[in-house]
């Protein structure tokens, strides 16, 4: 760890911003016109959180995850979740080694810096839980031995909200483990047209080179941790969380973990913009991706929205952000 600390000490906040811009640019070479999704994904990576990408099939969820992973020179693994996937297929399994006559632990795909979990809602709850436990504890325990997951460790999971047949939707408690949820949305006509020409023959992913080394990524994460968060901004985050808990249209408000992750994400957001302190604007920008997937609307509020309550919750969060006064500094409390 001394090595990474040294890098972090060297890495100024401006440099974090510059590197982040390079990564975003690199990803955008593949995923065009999705600046917001790309930024959110990178924010989560820098804040050491986990990202849930939720959208219809074929809009580039996996592509985004892969591109981001490829842009950083880190170990990447991909798990395709299926109903018959077993927990050991994720975490790893102990096998008997004939030569040594001992059980040896074979690391599963979760032992990587960036883990792409495709269609996580297709796996059985048992398997989902295994992954989610790793996400929370950042370690794997097998046969009484604990194996640590090397930082940085980020899970980028995708799920398809429309196809519900034969899926196991993530319960609220497990959704709460993800720092942010984003959706891709369809590309614009121009972007879609451009995509057709670039991918006619080969995948642009193949040509993609890492722009940031693992050490640099650790340095960036370290720098993010040192971003200053003032008391008013913390209070602002708490105010927002409290507002979601008191809102009439919401049955379940944001958890304290949500507040914590909102601040962490805001720090990363600030650093990505080359700032060494958090602004209420950072909190505002991340309120929807960080808070929305944890909230449950009341049945009355859902009304006509029926199953797909995503846009409704996004709107509620935006409304709450719009209604909560912005703090103006600790000395102005009157």
Partner 1 sequence: MRPDPVPLSRAQRLALTAASFLLLATAAMALGPLIAGSGWWWLCAFIAGGVLFSGAGLRALRAPASLVPVLELVVLLLLLTLVFGGASSIALIVPTPETFDTFGGLMSGAQRTIEQQSVPAIAVPPLLFALALGIGLLAVVADILVQTLRMPALAAAPALVPILVPGFIIEAGAELPALVLTAAAYLLLLRVDVRVRRRARLLAGDEGEDAAVIVPPKRVPIVSTLGASLGLAAVGLLTASVLAASTPSVSTSLLLGSPSQGTLFARGVSPFIDLGRDLRRPEARPAFHYFARDADRPYFTLLTLDRFEGEVWGVTDTAVDGDNTVDAMPLPDGLSEEVETSEHPIEVVVDEVRTTWLPVPYPASRIEGLSGSWFWDPGSLAVRSVDTNTGGQRYRVTRLEVTPTVAQLRDASTEVPAELEANLELPEEMPPIIADTAVVVTAGTTSKYDAAVAIQSFLRSSQFDYDTEAPVAEGYDGGGFDVIAQFLETKSGYCVHFASTMAVLARELGIPSRISLGYTQGSPTQERVDGVQRVEVDSHDLHSWPELYFEGVGWVPFEPTPGRGSVPDYSRPGAGDGTGAAAPSTAPITPGASGRPDLDPDRGLAGQGGGGATADSWWQRGLSVVLVAVLVLLLPAMLRLGQRWTRRRRIAKGERPADAAWDEVIATARDLGAGGDDVETARAFAATAAEREAFGEAAALAALTALRDAVERERYGPETGSPPEASELQEQLDRVRAALLADAALSARAHAVFAPRSLFDAARRAFGERPSVDA
Q: Does 319 bind partner 1 (CB under 8 A)?
A: no
Q: Report in angstroms how near the CB of residue 327 gets to partner 1 at its nearest.
A: 7
Answer for which of 233, 241, 254, 290 binds partner 1 (CB under 8 A) is 233
- Rounded distance, CA 123 to CA 170, Å? 10
Among 145, 155, 52, 45, CA closest to 111? 155
Is the CB of 106 or the CB of 234 nearer to partner 1? 234
Choice from 33, 225, 276, 302 touching partner 1 (CB under 8 A): 276
Cis amide bond preceding 152, omega within 30 = yes
**Closest approach of partner 1 to the CB of residue 177, in Å:** 24
Q: How far is the CB of 232 from partner 1 (least distance, A)?
A: 6
Tell me how many residues contact partner 1 (CB under 8 A).
27
- Nearer to partner 1 by Cβ, of 144 and 329: the residue is 329
Give the residue, chosen from 108, 280, 289, 297, that forms a contact with partner 1 under the rule CB under 8 A.
280
Task: Kindly state the smallest distance separating residue 323's Cβ from partner 1, in Å.
Answer: 6
User: 255-277: buried (b, 16+ CB within 10 Å) or exposed (e) per residue?
Assistant: beebbebbbbbbbbbbbbbebbe
Of positions 97, 192, 308, 323, contacts partner 1 by CB under 8 A: 323
325 part of the interface to partner 1, by CB under 8 A: yes
Task: Spell out, one character per residue from 238 to 267, where the chain touches partner 1: x when CB under 8 A holds, - when not.
Answer: -x----------------------------
Q: How far apart are CA 70 and CA 27, in angstroms?
A: 9
Min. distance of Cβ 280 from partner 1 in angstroms? 5
CA dihedral for 317, 319, 321, 327, sign (positive or negative): negative
Quote the CA–CA distance of 291 and 241 in Å, as a whole number.
8
Kindly state whether residue 230 participates in binding partner 1, applying the rule CB under 8 A: yes
For the bound state, the minimum distance from the C-beta of residue 159 to partner 1, rounded and expressed in Å, comes to 33
Q: 154 with 178: CB under 8 angstroms? A: no
| Shortest distance in whole angstroms from residue 195 CB to partner 1 | 31
Binding segment for partner 1 among 2-10, 73-81, 247-255, 272-280 (CB under 8 A)? 272-280
Alpha-helical runs (H) found in the chain: 2-10, 13-28, 35-46, 61-71, 87-91, 125-137, 172-175, 189-198, 204-207, 214-225, 231-246, 256-272, 280-291, 299-302, 310-323
- CA quadruple 77, 80, 84, 87: dihedral, nearest 10: 30
Phi-psi group of 185: left, alpha or beta (phi > 0 → left; psi -120 to 50 → alpha; rest → beta) = left
Please pick, from the candidates 228, 257, 308, 311, the single residue that binds partner 1 as defined by CB under 8 A. 228
Q: According to the binding rule CB under 8 A, does residue 119 interact with partner 1? A: no
117 pairs with which residues across the strands? Answer: 79, 157
Task: Name the residue nearer to partner 1 (CB basis): 242 or 251.
Answer: 242
Long-range contacts at 306-314 (CB < 8 A, ≥ 24 apart): 308/161, 310/54, 310/161, 310/183, 314/288
- Does residue 164 interact with partner 1 by CB under 8 A? no
Given 103, 147, 168, 277, the residue binding partner 1 (CB under 8 A): 277
Quick one: DSSP state of residue 277?
A: B
User: Contact with partner 1 (CB under 8 A): which of 89, 133, 176, 284?
Assistant: 284
**In the complex, minimum distance from the CB of residue 247 to partner 1, in angstroms, rounded to a whole number:** 13
* Footprint on this chain of partner 1 (rule: CB under 8 A): 228, 230-234, 239, 276-281, 284, 322-334
């Amino acid at each position: 760890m001394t090595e990474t600390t040294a890098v972090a000490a060297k890495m100024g906040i401006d440099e974090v911003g510059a590197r982040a811009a390079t990564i975003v640019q690199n990803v955008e070479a593949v995923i065009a016109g999705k600046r917001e999704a790309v930024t959110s994904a990178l924010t989560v990576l820098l804040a050491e959180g986990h990202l849930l990408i939720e959208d219809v099939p074929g809009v580039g969820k996996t592509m985004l995850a892969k591109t981001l992973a490829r842009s950083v020179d880190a170990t990447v693994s991909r798990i395709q979740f299926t109903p018959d996937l077993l927990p050991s297929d994720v975490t790893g399994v102990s096998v008997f080694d004939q030569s040594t006559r001992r059980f040896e632990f074979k690391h599963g795909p979760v032992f990587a810096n960036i883990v792409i979990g495709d269609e996580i809602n297709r796996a059985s709850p048992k398997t989902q839980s295994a992954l989610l436990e790793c996400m929370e504890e950042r370690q794997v325990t097998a046969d009484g031995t604990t194996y640590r997951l090397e930082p940085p460790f980020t899970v980028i999971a995708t799920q398809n909200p429309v196809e519900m047949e034969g899926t196991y939707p993530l319960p609220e408690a497990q959704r709460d483990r993800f720092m942010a949820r984003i959706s891709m949305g369809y590309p614009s006509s121009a972007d879609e047209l451009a995509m057709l020409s670039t991918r006619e023959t080969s995948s642009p992913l193949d040509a993609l080179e890492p722009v940031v080394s693992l050490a640099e990524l650790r340095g960036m994460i370290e720098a993010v941790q040192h971003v200053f968060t003032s008391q008013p901004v913390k209070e602002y985050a708490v105010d927002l969380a409290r507002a979601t808990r008191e809102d009439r249209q919401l049955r379940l408000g944001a958890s304290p973990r949500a507040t914590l992750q909102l601040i962490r994400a805001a720090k990363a957001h600030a650093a990505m913009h080359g700032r060494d302190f958090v602004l209420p604007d950072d909190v505002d920008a991340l309120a929807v991706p960080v808070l929305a997937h944890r909230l449950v609307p009341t049945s009355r509020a859902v009304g006509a929205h029926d199953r797909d309550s995503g846009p409704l919750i996004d709107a509620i969060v935006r409304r709450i952000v719009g209604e909560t006064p912005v703090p103006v500094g600790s000395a102005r409390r009157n």
